[in-house]
Chain A
Amino acid sequence: MDRNTNLRILIPVIVLLFTIISVLILTGLASENPDGFEWSLFEWAGIAEPEGGFGGIFSFLGEGPLVDVVTGGIGIVAILVIAYLFFKFTSLRTE
């Protein structure tokens, strides 16, 4: 598959995914409740959250919908590039 075909597949996906998560987060449709694996469940079971945990590489940006949109967008591009390059360099070569 040539470079143009790759771009024709990858760019619309990035744009579409970014648009979807932006709309969901900025319009408040994404839930703010703690998810099933988060620490609230452990606190319910009487286990306190340990101090000094790793907050993530973007923790210095703080919290908020706009930060989520920006970091989410960066994440989508990052994982797409990482997965693409990983499989590109390790998969079988074709003519």
Chain B
Amino acid sequence: MLGFAIRNVNKRFDDRLTPYMGVLAAVIFAAQFVNFPVPPSSGHLVGTTLLAVLLGPWAAMVIMALVLFVQALYGDGGLLAFGLNFFNMGILGAIFGWGIAMVIFKGLARFQDEKISVLVATSISAFITTVATAFVLGLELLAIPGLSFDFVYIITGIHGLIAVGEAILTFVILLYFVKASPKMISFLKGSDTGKALRRSKKLEIEPTLEEGI
């Protein structure tokens, strides 16, 4: 799946977008480094939905793989759990996040400004995706002998609260991009990443990025 995502990114994104890929990876890593309190637990931004809306699901998967790999080197998540973490936060997060956000965005954009629509759609999607992936993780962990189904309720319930933080942080970071660099948001008309996502393999690259954005 990661190889498929890398191939999709390689044939669509041109090298003028690479600084933004690096910047977004750094933003997501930094956001994951700092926990906000959700007593008695805590949470941090995952950011897959945000990345999927900005760059599309394939680039989101690749960036999440890189971020999770560095996190694993830091002992957060661990190297052996990398595959499970990537499946939940990278693959499911990107596909759910992008899909749900797209459906809500298309509905809202009919009677609302595009920029407001993308902010609302992404925040709602971030909330739903966080809860959904926590639920899926709970189900996966039922493979551990002796674990009761109550664990699924607990992990999903805690992430219901963490998802509120995820939605708020997603809204704030996306608001920055809406104000400062809307061409980076793939959902918006005329965006560079949106053009990259629609670009076919053989299509010639048109100069899209304005110098000095």
Interfacial residues, chain A to chain B (CB-CB below 8 A): 1, 5-6, 8-10, 13-14, 17, 20-21, 24-25, 30-37, 40-41, 44-47, 53-59, 68, 71-72, 75-84, 86-88, 90-94
Contacts and interface: CB of A to CB of B under 8 A. Distances in A.
Contacts of A84: 18-19, 21-22
Nearest to B71: A75
Contact of A46 (B34, B35, B134, B146): B146
28 contacts: A1-B16, A5-B212, A8-B212, A13-B27, A17-B26, A21-B33, A25-B34, A30-B36, A32-B42, A33-B39, A35-B44, A35-B162, A36-B158, A41-B155, A45-B148, A46-B146, A53-B78, A54-B79, A54-B80, A75-B29, A75-B74, A83-B24, A83-B26, A84-B18, A92-B11, A92-B14, A92-B15, A94-B15
Contacts of B27: 13, 17
A82 B19 contact: no
Query: Main secondary structure on chain A at its contact with chain B?
Result: helix
A90 B11 CA distance: 9
Contacts of A1: 15-16, 19, 209, 211
Interface residues of B, number: 65
Contact of A55 (B22, B41, B75): B75
A17 B30 contact: yes
Contacts, number: 176
Contacts of A36: 38, 41-43, 134, 155, 158-159, 162
Contacts of B14: 91-94
B161 to A, nearest CB: 9
5 nearest CB pairs, A to B: A56-B75, A84-B22, A83-B25, A31-B42, A33-B42
Most buried by B among A21, A35, A37, A57: A37
A86 B39 CA distance: 38
Contacts of A25: 34
Most buried by B among A31, A54, A79: A79
A84 B155 CA distance: 35
Given A36-B134, A44-B154, A47-B146, A14 B26 contact: yes
